[in-house]
Amino acid sequence: MNIEELREFCLSLPHTEEDVKWGADLCFTIGKKMFCVTGLERETFGLSLKVTPEQFEKLTLEEGISPAAYVARYKWISIKGEDRLSRELWEQYIRQSYELVKAKLPKKLLSELS
């Protein structure tokens, strides 16, 4: 996956918005809550996203995957390298992050999005 494919996939998820934060980080959000972040000025493609606690423990042991800076306590990981995962796995983890973040949105906001 590359940044263009990432944008296309993330924006295909309902109610997703994109924004550039901190000068050079492309953030994808639902209900103003981030579910995926990538750097615009990095030489190597990579992104950060939320996973389940069980996946966090397992995935952070793999090469190229580490606890995400500042948000690891919320079970976010950082994945480096566009070839690190298959296209299917990239999409699976992004969609899962989207759903995990969406599930934590206030009920009122969820009903407005529906």
Tokens of 9: 């996939």
In whole numbers, what is the pLDDT of the chain averaged over residues?
A: 94
The predicted model gives 63-68 an average pLDDT of: 95
Domain hosting 99: range is 3-104
pLDDT of residue 27: 97
- Number of folded domains that form the chain: 1
Q: Is residue 114 very low, low, confident or very high in pLDDT (cuts 50, 70, 90)? A: confident
DSSP 104: T
pTM higher than the cut 0.95? no
Higher pLDDT, 43 or 84: 84
Q: Map 15-77 to HEC letters.
A: CEEEEEECCCEEEEEECCEEEEEEECCCCCCEEEEECCHHHHHHHCCCCCEEECCCCHHHCEE
The CATH number for 12's domain is 3.90.1150.30
**Residue 45 placed within a domain:** yes
Can you say whether the dihedral through the CA atoms of 55, 60, 63, 69 is positive or negative?
A: positive
